[in-house]
Structure 1
Amino acid sequence: MSIVPSVPDRSRADHLAALRAELAHARAARGAVLPFGLGIVDDRLADHGLDGGGLHEVAAASATLNDDAAATLFAAGIAARFAAQPNFSVFWALTRFDLYAPGLEQVGLCPDKVFYAQAQKDSAVLAMAEDALRDGSLACVIAEVRHADQTATRRLQLAASDGQTPILLYRRHRTRERCPLGGLSSAMTRWRIGSVPSARLPHAGVGRARWSVELVRQRNGNPFSIELDACDDKGRLALPAAAADRAAPAAGAVNQAA
């Protein structure tokens, strides 16, 4: 009896090689670090931006709806800028679907850029986020949870590093005025976002929202707090006009992200 050696399926191997090359190109196009485009922020960040293969946490400054909306839009604006390249999408996992699509679109995150996934428990949301990160083909992952211990955040950080995909872990539904960022975490950065009064307009109308942006913790860097104008329709934050006028002569800083 003669045994005929198997012939490898070249077409399948070529297809897999092409997929790997496409994925590598996508990761390179996304970039390793996403700067805010504001010197007053980027210069204070250890990586001069957000690590594109890391975990970043976001929480509202208080339990009010205004602060919750500000934190949500802050995360959405970052995701929109990560997804600015063509053919990139955002994966958003959550347990309670209460997002307002027109609001997300106002900060640059259009409906055709987002895949939503809803689960009943935080553990399922974290599992979906981890799988999405390891896939490596997404622009960004957002996961909304009430609780995530240090083990869970460590798993997310490892998955983000493996897939070279950023994740924004939004710790929502805070109660009793206890900040969700008080516990241990493996996150690269931890942000607390709140609403503050906008500047008065010289005429009747609604001006651009303004946020208190506080970096509670970062690896290899110091915390800081600053007031910024809310995201525009491309997810870009900006210095309030008066602050920008003061900063420009001193450092030649750009007022808004490119």
Structure 2
Amino acid sequence: MSTATALATLPPGLVWQARQLAQQQGPVLPTGHAALDAELPGGGWPGAGIIELLHDHPGIGELSLLLPVLCQGASRRWQAWICPPWQPYAPALQAAGIDLDAVLLITPDNPAAALWACRQTLASGNCSAVLAWLPRIDNTGLRRLQLASEDGATPLFLFRSRNSARQPSPAPLRLALSGANGQLRIDIVKRRGPLSHRPVLLPYASLMHGSSCAG
């Protein structure tokens, strides 16, 4: 019996084929954007592990992209924001439906302390999500964050420069973000499944309209 024939006799779903999106292991968090969900394994953000958001300029819509999932985390668990490039604007976050009492803003003095804080918040299991802006991190640091994220069953949204796409990463999901022509362009650099050959385009108007989770 040939290998192909033997594989064909196995129950459906038992063997993952490279041309198919992999089934996400563990919980999946809908992104709130149907076009993006359709391109992600399991149909949303992984509930644990690193999710790299690669972009060159803060403020292109990266936080609007995450607002739906951040609103879903309003279960009295912390949302840790580590080293954001700007002071988060509390009235806008509150208007979008984020529970400000659950936001834990952490601003360490140096990269080593930021990495330590990130690992601790992930491993604690007390956060619904961790957002971190770490401009300098090596492969060892990335692996430690991936393990902490898995152990704590907490997703880590890690904001990095687009040049970081050249660096190998244990992150199961890596997205490159850019803005043009009134749209947020999302190129899927890495996912569990086949290579992505087309970007996901989300109009800024829909991002802003869909970002309000209040009520």
For Structure 1 versus Structure 2, the TM-score category normalised by the shorter chain is 0.7 to 0.9
The equivalent residue for 1:34 is 29
The equivalent residue for 2:17 is none
1:171-195 per-residue CA deviation (whole Å, 9 max, x = no partner) reads 1xx5xxx623221111111112222
TM-score by length of 1: 0.62
The equivalent residue for 2:9 is none
Is this contact kept in 1: 2:48–2:155, CA < 8 A? yes
Shift of 1:154: 0.9
- C-alpha distance 194-42 of structure 1, shift in aligned 2 (>3 A): same
The equivalent residue for 2:111 is 122
Residue 194 of structure 1 is aligned with which of 165, 169, 178?
Answer: 178
- C-alpha distance 59-107 of structure 1, shift in aligned 2 (>3 A): farther
Q: Does the residue aligned with 1:47 lie in a helix, a strand or coil?
A: helix
Alignment of 1:225 with 2:209, yes or no, is no
Alignment of 1:43 with 2:38, yes or no, is yes
Question: What CA RMSD, in Å, does the superposition of the two structures yield over aligned residues?
Answer: 2.7
Residue ranges of structure 2 left out of the alignment (5+ in a row): 1-25
Instruction: Map 1:61-80 onto structure 2 (within 5 A).
Output: 62-63=56-57, 68-74=58-64, 76-77=66-67, 79-80=69-70
Amino acid in the other structure paired with 1:192: A
Larger Rg: 1
Shift of 1:213: 1.7
Residue ranges of structure 1 left out of the alignment (5+ in a row): 1-30, 199-209, 237-258
Is this contact kept in 2: 1:91–1:116, CA < 8 A? yes
Alignment of 1:184 with 2:168, yes or no, is yes
Percent of aligned positions with the same letter in both sequences? 26
TM-score by length of 2: 0.73
Instruction: Map 1:101-180 onto structure 2 (within 5 A).
Output: 101-105=90-94, 107-171=96-160, 174=161, 179-180=163-164
- Give the paired residue count: 185
Shift of 1:124: 1.3
